[in-house]
Amino acid sequence: MSEKSSCDLIVTIVNKGDAEKVVAVSKEAGAGGGTIFFARGTGSHDQVKLFGIVIEPEKEIVLTLVEKWKTDKVFAAISESLNLEQPGKGISFTLDVDKVAGFTPGAQGSLE
């Protein structure tokens, strides 16, 4: 385990159906892949009803672990490709990773 990691975690939250595009764009920009999981939004937006039933906005979250020197390029590619500057398109942010186990920067087949 590395005590001081040279990695960042890019967290991207998008509307259902957009996660595969996040992963594809990330790979094109140099990331090894990503982890997708599903979520439900609870923001302050107006609730949509269908036949009197509240429809919760479905979201997908993509976690992308990248080497620090790749972070800016991957992050920019995600933001630009998914038009995240426009309201309602999603959100992406980075977190500094202090410790990593099971990830070797630059290695083929690393879990990302």
Q: What is the pLDDT along the chain (112 residues), one digit of tens a residue?
A: 445 678 999 999 999 999 999 999 999 999 999 999 998 877 655 666 666 665 567 899 999 999 999 999 999 999 999 999 988 889 999 999 988 888 766 654 444 4
Question: Could you tell me the pTM of the whole model?
Answer: 0.81
Q: Closest Cα partner for 67 from 20, 37, 26, 19?
A: 26
Structural domains of the chain in order of their starting residue, each with its CATH number: 7-96 (3.30.70.120)
Nearest-Å Rg of the Cα atoms of the chain is 16
pLDDT on residue 108 = 45
The conformation of residue 61, written as its DSSP 8-state character, comes to E
What interhelical angle do 19-28 and 68-81 show, nearest 10?
130
Q: Closest Cα partner for 10 from 25, 1, 89?
A: 25
**Paired residues of 11 in beta bridges:** 63, 93
